[in-house]
Amino acid sequence: MWQPDGWGQTRIGVLTPHADIVPEAEFNALAPDGISIHAARIPFGGYSPGGTMDPTIANDPVRAIADPPAVDDAAEMLAMAPLHAIAFGFTSSSYVRGAADDATLKSRLEARTRGIPVVVPCAAAAAALGALSATKVALISPPWFSTEMDQQGVAYFGSQGLEVVYSGPASLPSDQQAIQPDQLYDWVRSHVPTNAEAVFIGGNGFRAIGVIKALEESLDRPVLTANQVAFWCALRLSGTRAPVRNYGRIFEFDLPRS
């Protein structure tokens, strides 16, 4: 008798840069029935109105997005809703600031969220690689990441005991709205070396989840993306076992024991 009304028994929040539409779009695509997504926006100095960015984003606004008070206030406001987990939808600040700062950010935000757990994507990626028992990873950065920022990503995962066997910004249009799945698929498939045990596509603003299934079938290796691992981690922290199909092997796994 009743039609679906979008009600979620499990509710996941996402903090997203103010002009970025990708994290909440991909979270909604990943969410199975019974999971609802609720977004809050935080200011990011790298965007112009309409979501345009410089072809290469600078380190300073990337670093600043994780500074108080804006993200802290947004997390507190979002946590006023009855949520089960909240993801911070931003990869590059982790690369620039490092893994220790990710842990500090998580603790700082959780002090404002009434106990709702907070997920930081790069920490979630490291946990996912641990769950998959993958230690050698190919790191694909968005085209708007500089070579320096990409190398900061290499250092980030190296600090987590992982070996990055390939890294580089994808040579695709440096425009979030211009990238098509076939372009990303072709780039990744032709650049991942045979000794990579898994692939991580960084950048929560990088449209990527649509190619996961095809890449895993082609490469015969797990493929992770920033929004996918953040959602996986948030789903596990929420305590639900709702199945997510066709978006990667990682959804067959639980969080590693700490």
CA–CA separation, 227 vs 90, rounded Å? Answer: 9
Asked if 54 and 79 touch (Cβ cutoff 8 Å), the reply is no
pLDDT tens digits, one per residue of 48-106: 888 888 899 999 999 999 999 999 999 999 999 999 999 999 999 999 999 999 999 99
Domains 10-124+227-252 and 132-225 share a fold: yes
The predicted structure's pLDDT at residue 51: 81
For 223-257, write each residue's pLDDT tens digit. 999 999 999 999 999 998 889 999 999 999 999 98
Report if pTM > 0.85: yes
Q: In the beta sheet, which residues pair with residue 53? A: 47
Q: Name residues whose C-beta falls within 8 Å of residue 115's C-beta, 6 or more positions apart in sequence.
A: none
Q: How far apart are CA 251 and CA 121, in angstroms?
A: 15
178, pLDDT greater than 70: yes
Q: Average pLDDT over the chain, rounded to whole?
A: 96
CB 170 within 8 A of CB 142: yes
Q: What is the DSSP letter of 17?
A: E
By the 8 A CB rule, do 120 and 226 touch? no
Q: 3-28 pLDDT, tens per residue?
A: 989 999 999 999 999 999 999 999 99
Sequence ranges of the domains in the chain: 10-124+227-252, 132-225
Q: What is the CATH number of domain 132-225?
A: 3.40.50.1860
Is CATH 3.40.50.12500 correct for 10-124+227-252? yes
Q: Is the pLDDT of residue 164 over 90?
A: yes
The torsion angles phi and psi of 35, rounded to 5 degrees, stand at -115, 125
